[in-house]
């Protein structure tokens, strides 16, 4: 067993069949001729019992893709108008590879999609909803692996529903009247005073004493709308709002009951 590199002569023609014996000087004796040998210095690892009889094998595997780490930012959460442009951002979060984004219209036709790289981590996707009202499916893949929950859904609606001819003739300015009072809305929760990055923030809005209307919530941060916002109706006009942000900085939270701000809105928030 060699503990350091030694000078050796290897028989390259008959090494597989001839028996090689190491001499005291570190050379090898065998049936090979001088011209058939390769002279040089070779090193053997101390814990090896024999030289490998087969050439080394190198295995190459495709790079693994964890599509669940990719984030979809600023994706429209509500209905949008037809023939309007929709933009959102894909954040790779260290996942390597290429993104493939396809937008399928209500009739199955593909919409034009433009992809722009903002920085090594973020890609902006722009598409035009030009196939009329309905559901648009957004298919997102990274290295041919679909993102969880893909396809994502965008609801496109046309303009305001027109009144019938008879209604127009009798009352051309007829508008539904909604009785509500935003001053009676109550809100509570840590999500209205503290913001934690990368963790879910939550608060409750109680509209049970404010009449009948719709709750609108929006959050604007240093780079635009927040990453994730969910409003869930718990019944009796009580809503639970959860949101998630990833960029540190100052945020503005707006909550409206119909067209009116609820007490305290807009709220000024800052990440911890």
113 exposed, middle or buried (CB, 10 Å; 0-12, 13-18, 19+)?
Answer: middle
Sequence ranges of the chain with CATH classification 2.60.40.10: 67-157, 182-270
Peptide bond into 256 cis (omega under 30): no
Q: In this predicted model, what pLDDT tens digit does every residue of 232-260 receive, in sequence order?
A: 998 888 999 999 888 888 888 999 998 88
| 190: three-class secondary structure by DSSP | helix
Q: What pTM value is reported for the model?
A: 0.39
Q: Which pLDDT value is given to residue 139?
A: 93
Q: Are strands 152-157 and 80-81 parallel, antiparallel or unpaired?
A: parallel
- The pLDDT score that the predictor gives to residue 49 is 52
Cβ proximity of 2 and 43 under 8 Å: yes
Q: What is the pLDDT of residue 145?
A: 87
Which residues pair with residue 141 across a beta bridge?
Answer: 100, 146
d(CA 74, CA 102): 17
Residue 129, pLDDT score: 87
What parts of the chain have a pLDDT lower than 70?
Answer: 1-54, 56, 58-64, 159-178
User: Hey, what CATH topology would domain 67-157 get?
Assistant: Immunoglobulin-like (2.60.40)
- CATH label, 182-270, candidates 3.40.50.720, 3.40.50.2300, 2.60.40.10, 2.40.30.170: 2.60.40.10
Q: What is the pLDDT of residue 232?
A: 92
């Amino acid at each position: 067993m060699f503990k350091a590199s030694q000078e050796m002569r290897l028989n390259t023609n008959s090494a597989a069949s001839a028996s090689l014996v190491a001499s005291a000087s570190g050379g090898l004796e065998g049936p090979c001729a001088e011209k058939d040998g390769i002279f040089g210095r070779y090193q053997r690892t101390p814990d090896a019992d024999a030289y490998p009889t087969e050439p080394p094998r190198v295995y190459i595997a495709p790079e693994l893709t964890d599509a669940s780490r990719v984030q979809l930012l600023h994706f429209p959460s509500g209905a949008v108008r037809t023939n309007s442009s929709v933009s959102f951002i894909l954040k790779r979060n260290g996942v390597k590879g290429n993104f493939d984004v396809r937008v399928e219209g209500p009739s199955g036709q593909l919409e034009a999609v433009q992809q722009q790289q903002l920085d090594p981590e973020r890609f902006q996707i722009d598409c035009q909803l030009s196939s009329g009202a309905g559901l648009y499916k957004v298919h997102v893949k990274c290295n041919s692996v679909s993102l969880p929950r893909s396809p994502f859904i965008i609801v496109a609606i046309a303009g305001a529903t027109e009144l019938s001819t008879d209604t127009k003739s009798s009352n051309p300015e007829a508008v539904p009247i909604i009785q509500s009072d935003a001053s009676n809305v109550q809100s509570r929760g840590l999500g209205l005073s503290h913001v934690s990055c990368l963790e879910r923030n939550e608060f409750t809005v109680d509209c049970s004493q404010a009449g009948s209307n719709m709750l609108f919530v929006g959050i604007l941060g240093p780079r635009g709308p927040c990453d994730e916002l969910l409003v869930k109706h718990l019944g009796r006009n009580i809503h639970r709002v959860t949101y998630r942000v990833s960029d540190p900085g100052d945020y503005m939270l707006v909550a409206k009951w119909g067209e009116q701000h609820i007490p305290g809105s807009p709220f000024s928030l800052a990440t911890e």
